[in-house]
Amino acid sequence: MAFFNKPFKGLPEDLKDSDKSGEPVSSRFLPDNTEDGSDDHLFQIAMKDVIPLTDNKKKIIRSPVRKEKLPDQLSSHSNRVREYLSCLVKESAAWDISFSDEYMVGSVSGVGPKIMKRLKRGEFSIQDYIDLHGLRKKEAEAVVYDFIIQSYHQGRRCVLIVHGRGLGSVDHQPAIKKELPVWFKRGILKKIVLAFVTARPCDGGAGALYVLLKKR
């Protein structure tokens, strides 16, 4: 029978008769030194054309380490702590405060001695006042906060805060008096309050404060 399609036409005779030798065709085209089929021998053959580096120093290439991102909650908490500590340092440096059982005075940097002398002498007219007797700390803080902001918006420069001497408290300590400087340095009040000083006896003495506010 004659075949019109001859797919093996033109191939060498040795390829046509590859099965006559009893071995695969591919084996006859491998180099003669491939009789050793071990992994080491094959590796040596594969690497025979590789040129070694001239640098003899040992180099360790580390895979890039992916930095784990902190959760947003922990990151924001850390930021809040840093901001809080930073504010404490700045506020402490900005205020000059002297405190005793009977007398208290404080001012931000920039308030001159002449202004403080006038404030201590009561030469600024008292334009408004609040009385904190009978209030707890949280209540008193809210009242002071609202009072200072309202006085500032109304253009008042000097106000009086009657905080008492603490004689009615359990330990007979002026708890609110000691908290006032802290409140003055907190939040928006630190941008409004310029100075404070214990009032003269006629205006309440050790139980009251003159508070000088910033001009609008």
Q: What is the pLDDT of residues 58-110, one digit of tens each?
A: 555 555 555 554 455 545 655 655 554 455 445 544 688 887 778 999 999 89
Domain assignment of residue 153, yes or no = yes
Domain assignment of residue 58, yes or no = no
Contact, 195 vs 212, CB < 8 A?
yes
- Say how many domains are in the chain: 1
Compute the half-sphere exposure of residue 123: CA atoms within 13 Å on the CB side of its CA.
Answer: 8
Q: Domain of 148: which CATH number?
A: 3.30.1370.110
pLDDT at 39 over 80: no
- Residues 30-34, mean pLDDT to the nearest whole number: 49
Confidence (pLDDT) at 159: 98
Angstrom distance (rounded) from CA 26 to CA 157 = 103
Domain assignment of residue 65, yes or no = no
Residues contacting residue 132 through CB under 8 Å, at least 6 positions apart: 140, 143, 144, 161, 162, 163, 164, 176
Confidence (pLDDT) at 189: 94
Domain assignment of residue 66, yes or no = no
Q: How far is CA 30 from CA 27, 37, 141, in A?
A: 5, 12, 94
CB atoms inside a 10 Å sphere around CB 129: 18
How many H-runs (helices) and E-runs (strands) does the chain carry? Answer: 6, 6
Confidence (pLDDT) at 97: 85
- Residues 28-47, mean pLDDT to the nearest whole number: 62
Contact, 166 vs 177, CB < 8 A?
yes
Nearest to 197 by CA among 180, 214, 172: 180
Confidence (pLDDT) at 157: 96
Domain assignment of residue 14, yes or no = no
Of the two residues 79 and 160, the one the predictor is more confident about is: 160
Domain assignment of residue 35, yes or no = no
Of the two residues 30 and 210, the one the predictor is more confident about is: 210
pLDDT at 13 over 60: no
Domain assignment of residue 134, yes or no = yes
- Helix (H), strand (E) at residue 71: none
Task: State the alpha helices, DSSP H only, in the chain.
Answer: 13-16, 39-46, 72-94, 113-120, 137-153, 175-184
CA 199 to chain centre: 41
Q: What is the pLDDT of residues 100-127, one digit of tens each?
A: 778 999 999 899 999 999 999 999 999 9
Domain assignment of residue 80, yes or no = no
For residue 168, the enclosing domain spans: 95-213
Q: How far is CA 183 from CA 1, 42, 123, 186, in A?
A: 113, 82, 25, 5
